[in-house]
């Protein structure tokens, strides 16, 4: 069994200029990218998901994380497929490590993603974070939530 983890850490506190990106836009990009990644490896599965607010350097900025757990028979292959999915969509894949724990990183201007495949697990964990942005809390992202 293996676990594939996709994570993103938008740790930089970006303060966009007028007309710039809002937290709602970044959170929408994050969820869309990770939902699409999950659909690319298991289109008929409904993954368990979790959303969480992340700390920023300023009270007027917000960052959110999003995690999906997807069951799969071949997690290592699924991890490689996710990277191909990202590349086809123009994401910058910044590193790939194919050792006992398969991992890769990718990013856009607004989000950073990580995929990890852990030995001994049968699911894929997709995880990501937005950078810090101003704006109202996106609908459905107000508190930590966990769905199954």
Torsion of CA 53, 58, 59, 64, to 10 degrees: -10
Higher-confidence position of 128 and 138: 128
Residue pointed to by tokens 């991992």: 103
Is the pLDDT at 148 greater than 80? The verdict is no
CA distances from 137 to 27, 43, 63, 89, 132 (A): 9, 29, 10, 27, 12
44-58 residue pLDDT tens: 989 999 999 999 999
Higher pLDDT, 20 or 1: 20
Two tokens, residue 99: 């050792």
Q: What is the pLDDT of residues 6-63, one digit of tens each?
A: 444 444 444 443 358 899 999 999 999 999 999 999 999 899 999 999 999 998 999 9
Average pLDDT, rounded, for the chain = 83
Domain ranges of the chain: 2-14+24-118+130-140
What pLDDT is stored for residue 125 in this prediction?
85
Which of these, 129, 147, 140, lies nearest to 61 by C-alpha position? 129
DSSP one-letter code for 58: S
Six token digits for residue 70:
């997807």
| Alpha-carbon span 87 to 37, nearest angstrom | 11
Share of the chain above pLDDT 90, in %: 52
Distance (Å, whole) CA 132 – CA 146: 22
């Amino acid at each position: 069994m293996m676990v594939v983890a996709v994570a993103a850490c938008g740790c930089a506190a970006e303060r966009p200029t007028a007309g710039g990106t809002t937290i709602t836009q970044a959170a929408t990009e994050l969820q869309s990218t990770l939902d699409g990644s999950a659909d690319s490896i298991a289109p008929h599965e409904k993954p368990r998901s979790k959303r969480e607010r992340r700390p920023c350097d300023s009270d007027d900025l917000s960052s959110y994380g999003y995690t999906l757990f997807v069951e799969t028979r071949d997690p290592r292959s699924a991890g490689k497929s996710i990277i191909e999915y990202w590349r086809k969509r123009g994401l910058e894949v910044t590193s790939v490590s194919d050792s006992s724990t398969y991992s890769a990183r990718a990013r856009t201007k607004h989000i950073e993603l990580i995929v990890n495949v852990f030995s001994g697990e049968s699911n894929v964990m997709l995880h990501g974070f937005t950078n810090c942005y101003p704006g109202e809390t996106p609908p459905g992202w107000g508190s930590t939530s966990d769905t199954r």
